[in-house]
Amino acid sequence: MFARVVEIRTKPGKAKELCRTIHEKVLTILQAQTGFVDEIVLVSDTDTDRVVAVSFWKTKEDAERYSREHYPKVSEMIRHQVHAAPKVRRFLVETSTTHKIARGKAA
């Protein structure tokens, strides 16, 4: 399993609006993608303009395809809510109790 971690600094007071956009628009795009597994959106409790979105993918190739083909549209969709371009990082999922992964392998 593979994860994309997107760190977002919103414009002041726009975090909830961004979360609503992710829930109402971005999730529809994600759910239509081959290999998409799950999305978790976090809002910092100490820095309310900081949002982290973690998407889980069956393979690195699935995540990269989404990044190339659909993420530019998503980035444009949230452009007016963010302070700067989101920072995207990629990770191999080593363990997950929710997704039943142990030592980097799906159960």
Region 12-29 average pLDDT:
96
| pTM for the structure as a whole | 0.89
CA 83 → CA 31, 50, 95, 106, 107, distances in Å? Answer: 26, 10, 32, 37, 40
The pLDDT score that the predictor gives to residue 5 is: 98
Whole-number Å distance between alpha carbons of 32 and 90? 20
Q: Give the count of domains, the chain.
A: 1
With cut-offs at 50, 70 and 90, classify the pLDDT of residue 97.
confident
Structural domain harbouring 14: 2-106
pLDDT in tens, 77-90: 999 999 999 999 99
Region 49-75 average pLDDT:
97
The pLDDT score that the predictor gives to residue 98 is: 80
Question: What's the half-sphere exposure (Cβ side, CA atoms, 13 Å) at 32?
Answer: 8
- Domain of 87, CATH number, reads 3.30.70.100
